[in-house]
Amino acid sequence: MASEQKPELFELNNGSMQVKITNYGATIVSLSVPDKDGNLADVVLGCDSLEPYLKGAVPFFGCIVGRVANRIKDGKFTLDGIEYQLPINKPPNSLHGGHEGFDKKNWEIVERKEGKIPSITFKYHSHDGEEGYPGDVTVTATYTLTSSTTMRLDMEALPENKPTPINLAQHTYWNLAGHSSGTILDHSIQIWASHITPVDQNTVPTGEIMPVKGTPFDFTTEKKIGSSIHEVGLGYDHNYVLDCGEEKEGLKHAARLKDPSTSRVLNLWTTAPGVQFYTANYVNGVSGKDGAVYGKHSGLCLETQGFPNAINEPKFPSIVVRPGEKYRHTMLFEFSVVE
């Protein structure tokens, strides 16, 4: 059983990139890739030891969140005529699976592969009623270094006996200049999305689908993150509705992130319909690796996902998975440097 698992740290290394992952929350603790001069740097926010993760001292750094990522309005939903009440862990809503979501569980290690294409597979069994959600669900997450500077994440979930909402997201905070290099406001980003789901004062989607054209949310062409961030309140924390454009291996191009100082680039591809673009607006004085202290905008998240509060919005793509069906969500993180 997963409860007997101890939190440990594992490394995937193919000679070009190095990733450290813990089975606690299936969490990426560090990820090092080369810059234009071949210098490796760790480009994810995190901590030197597992203790801060176990104590809940980090704001979802690097983990997989579930059973349902993002916000559920008032922590309530009705499915097949039954009303469910979830923990209100981010008043007035339920966020990222509740008080103890998948990010705060010890996952089982079911497979490890070494060699040129190293990988690790984690598994977690979520029981009926856990954090208020219906039915038993078995979840797996496999991280694979598929080429010299590419990592793939395959997430799957099988509901065993009841229909349930499922929406997993990978919550790594990226800073391509290096985790301790300051803010990401000089990074530029392109997001393959011409619409967002606008939100109310509690960051829950209103149900509308809004075009980004002519607004500070428009990243349909590459733009510096800091250029209009002051026009959107605390910063970006919005779900982008991905266009059906360029594809690779059946995945949609979600975003391209670039750091001018190191020329590092991250291209993100996904099977999910949306991506939460979050600029670490609430990160404030978090103690990180190598004595770094992470402040506001010190990283950014690109969480591909089903739409927030989709369980309560019939117009949004459904996140309900029924017994006999399988939830699948794949992400491809492709690192490179600008020539």
pLDDT in tens, 92-114: 999 999 999 999 999 999 999 99
Task: Determine which one of 96, 171, 297, 329 is catalytic.
Answer: 171
Residue 333 identity (one-letter amino acid):
F
- Structure confidence at residue 246 (pLDDT): 81
**Confidence class for position 339, pLDDT limits 50, 70, 90:** confident
- Structure confidence at residue 1 (pLDDT): 42
| Spatial contact of 333 and 317, defined as CB atoms under 8 Å apart | no
Q: What CA–CA distance (Å, rounded) separates 329 from 168? A: 8
CA distances from 182 to 130, 175, 235, 310 (A): 38, 8, 16, 34
Query: Is position 313 annotated as part of the catalytic site?
Result: no
Position 56 pLDDT exceeds 90? yes
Task: Determine which one of 130, 131, 303, 313 is catalytic.
Answer: 303
CA 232 vs. chain centroid, Å, equals: 21
Write out pLDDT tens, residues 241-300.
999 878 888 999 999 999 999 999 999 999 999 999 999 999 999 999 999 999 999 999
Counting Cα atoms < 13 Å in the Cβ hemisphere of 222 gives 11
**Confidence class for position 4, pLDDT limits 50, 70, 90:** low
Query: Is position 303 annotated as part of the catalytic site?
Result: yes
Q: Are strands 108-113 and 94-95 parallel, antiparallel or unpaired?
A: unpaired
